[in-house]
Amino acid sequence: MSTVGVVLVSHSAEVAQSVARLAQGLAGAGATARVAAAGGTAGGELGTSSELILAAAREVDQGAGVALLVDLGSAVLTVKALLEDEELPAGSRLVDAPFVEGAVAAVVTASTGADLDAVVAAAGEAYAYRKV
């Protein structure tokens, strides 16, 4: 079964990788969705790399769509620019969601075989969960 892929774009390589592990861990042993981290610049510094984002998206793309979650600033703008230029795989979408909670929701939902709309909606709903 092809599932929606999830790409996590952060200014920090460590943050992107850790959130990927966290989301896969919380999604449980049955989590089958592909997740890839695209953190920091190609040179290993804080920032955003379009190359790393494109590579991560191609890595997780199985033809069912790719949900991209981002932290802030250049991560948001770079993904938007890549989408406008149609450089990302067909069916790629920037998700408006909190990074950590959205990543967990996206991976859990994608692992059920849900389609891209459902994955994006689940990640976005994480905004509605109030903590106090």
Footprint of another protein (CB under 8 A): 41, 43, 45-51, 73-74, 77-78, 80-82, 84-85
Smallest separation, CB 39 to another protein (Å):
12
- 3-state secondary structure (DSSP) of residue 59: helix
**Minimum distance between the CB of residue 79 and another protein, rounded to whole angstroms?**
9
CB-nearer residue toward another protein: 78 or 109: 78
Q: How far is the CB of 104 from another protein (least distance, A)?
A: 26
SS3 string of 11-24? CCHHHHHHHHHHHH
Token pair belonging to 92: 């790629």
User: Which stretch of DSSP H or E encloses residue 10?
Assistant: strand 5-10
**Residues 105/123, Cβ–Cβ less than 8 Å:** yes
Residue closer to another protein (CB basis): 77 or 117: 77
The angle that helices 116-125 and 99-111 make with each other, rounded to 10 degrees, is 150
What minimum distance in Å lies between the beta carbon of 77 and another protein?
4
Tracing tokens 């379009």 back to the chain, one arrives at: 50
Q: Which is nearer to another protein, 83 or 118 (CB)?
A: 83
When the beta carbons of 23 and 57 are compared against another protein, the nearer one is 57
Q: Report d(CA 70, CA 36) in Å as an integer.
A: 12
